[in-house]
Structure 1
Amino acid sequence: MGLALHTTRQDGRATIAARGSIDLHSSDELRSRLTELVDAGEREVVVDLTAVDFCDSSGLNVLVRAYKHARAQNATLTVTGAYGRVENVLRTTGLDRFLIGGAAGEGVGT
C-alpha cells in the first residue's frame, strides 16, 4: 500500500492526514508536503498518523527534519494519532517526546 495525504486547514492549523505506509518509496511525498506548508507560512502543522500502519527510518527522518525546519521558521510540527507499530517506533526511538503534541503522551493512541 502506498501513501495518501489529505491536507485541511482550520483555525490557523494545517493538518495532514496520512493513510498507508510511510517508507522509502513514499517519504519524499510527505517531506515535500510538510516543507511546502511551512514555507508557505503555516505556523502550526499537525501530522495525523491515525491511518498509518507502518513507518520506517526514512519516514522518521522526514518527521525529524520537518520538525527542525518548522522550528527554524518559528512554526510548530506535531504528530497525533500514532498507534500500534507506529506508536511503538516513536516511543522506542524517543521521538515521541518532541513530535507528539500536547501534554506528555497526548495524541498517542487516539
Structure 2
Amino acid sequence: MGEAMFNWGNGRATVVLEGEIDWHTVPGVRDALAASGSHSGLDVDLSAVNFCDASGLNVFLEAAKRSADAAGDLRLHRPCRAVRRLVDVTGTGFLLADENSPLALPVDVRWPVAPHDQ
C-alpha cells in the first residue's frame, strides 16, 4: 500500500487508496480512513487497489459502522474484480457504491499507508 489522497466536499470525504490491502497494510489504511475526519459520508476509491483480504474488508466494515454512528455512510467505489468477489462472497455488498454515484476528484493531500513496521 502506498499512499492515500483526500478530498473533502459536499460534506463527504473521498479517500483514494492504492496497492494491496492485507494484514500488513491494514494499520495504515485504518489510519487513513480515520484521518478523513467526521463527515456525512466517506467515499473510498479502490480503482488503484489490486488486492484486499478479509482484514482489509474488516477495516471497511469498522469505518462503515463509525460513519453510520455519525449518521453517515461509507461507499466503496471502483473495486477490482478480486475486491468485488470478496464483497460478494461475504455478503457485504451494501458497502459498494452504485456505479453511477458521483465520486469527487481527490486533492493532492497524501497520507502514508505503508505498513507500520517500515
**If the length of structure 1 is used for normalisation, what is the TM-score?**
0.81
Query: Which residue of 1 is the match for residue 70 of structure 2?
Result: 73
Deviations 1:28-76 (A, max 9, x none): 1111222233xx3311110111110000111011001110111011111
Q: SS at 1:19's partner residue?
A: strand
- Give aligned pairs, total: 100
- Cα distance in structure 1, aligned partners of 2:61 and 2:79: 15
Moved more, 6-15 or 82-91: 6-15
Percent identity for Structure 1 against Structure 2: 32
Match of 1:62 in 2: 59
Are residue 36 (structure 1) and residue 32 (structure 2) matched?
no
Aligned to 2:13: 14
Counterpart Cα distance in 1 of 2:59 and 2:13: 17
Q: Which residue identity is paired with 2:66?
A: H
Q: Which has the larger share of helix?
A: 1
Higher alpha-carbon deviation: 50-59 or 6-15: 6-15
The residue number in structure 2 matching 1:99 is 95
TM-score (norm 2): 0.76
Q: Which has the higher contact order (CA 8 A, sep 6+)?
A: 2
Q: Using the alignment, how far apart are the partners of 1:71 and 1:35 within structure 2?
A: 14
Distance (whole Å) between structure 1 residues aligned to residue 81 and residue 97 of structure 2: 18
Counterpart of 1:89? 86
Which residue identity does 1:50 align to in structure 2? Answer: S
Residues 7, 16 of structure 1: 8 Å contact kept: yes
Q: Which runs of 5+ in 2 are unaligned?
A: 101-118
Q: Distance in 2 between matches of 1:34 and 1:43?
A: 14
